[in-house]
Structure 1
Amino acid sequence: MKNQVTTIYKQAERLAEITKTFIISGNIIRAKKCLQIADELLLNGSNETKNAISNVYVFSVSTFMELRHCSISNLFPQNLKLEYNKQINALGV
């Protein structure tokens, strides 16, 4: 029970941390698997799940990748890439 994740937002944050750990360790296959899971949740999840993936997961992972100069376009699946582009355009960057 000590490691129990309680909300969808905390779950999205945890998935982002796992994804970033895989990227750091060079395990790109597992990182891509995490990204694919997030992509499917963004496509098929409830509205709350979609918001969590968009606001927590995409923001966290894309910021991390940009700071480390990783190519987002090579790793992000289609739906996550679209969401990332929406965020970038909304920010006016």
Structure 2
Amino acid sequence: MKNQVNTIYRKAERFAEITKNAIISGNISRAKKCLALAEQLLITGSIETQNAISNVYVFSVSSFMKLRNCTISNLVPLSLKVEYIKKINASSV
């Protein structure tokens, strides 16, 4: 089980890197597809998958977008935005 969880988190890390690279290269179509897939995994994935998307993917991509002042934040699906807001509120308590 520990190896499986580690693998899920590594995959979420890699997925976040793919999304960030798409944003950097200006491939907004691919970035939108990645964000939509992440949202789908957040909604329908297993508990482990949801945790990996929430804790690794959302944090990584949103931090990247904030640091780079990306204007594509309006492309982020609602569920991912909600998850990001939850993380921000939880960390500031």
- In structure 1, what is the equivalent of residue 70 of structure 2? 70
| Segments ≥4 residues shifted beyond 6 Å | none
TM-score w.r.t. the length of structure 2 is 0.88
Residue 47 of structure 2 aligns with an amino acid whose one-letter code is N
Q: Gaps (5+ residues) in structure 2?
A: 1-5
Q: Gaps (5+ residues) in structure 1?
A: 1-5
Aligned residues: 88
Change (3 A) 1:71 1:87: farther
Secondary structure of 2:69's partner? Answer: coil
Query: Is 1:34 equivalent to 2:34 in the alignment?
Result: yes
Q: Distance in 1 between matches of 2:89 and 2:71?
A: 18
Q: Distance in 2 between matches of 1:10 and 1:40?
A: 18
Structure with more helix by fraction: 2
Q: Distance in 1 between matches of 2:13 and 2:24?
A: 16
TM-score w.r.t. the length of structure 1 is 0.88
- In structure 1, what is the equivalent of residue 17 of structure 2? 17
Q: Distance in 1 between matches of 2:12 and 2:54?
A: 9
The alignment-based identity, stated in percent, is 69
1:72 Cα deviation from its structure 2 partner: 5.9
Query: Is the CA contact (8 Å cut-off) linking 1:62 and 1:72 kept in structure 2?
Result: no
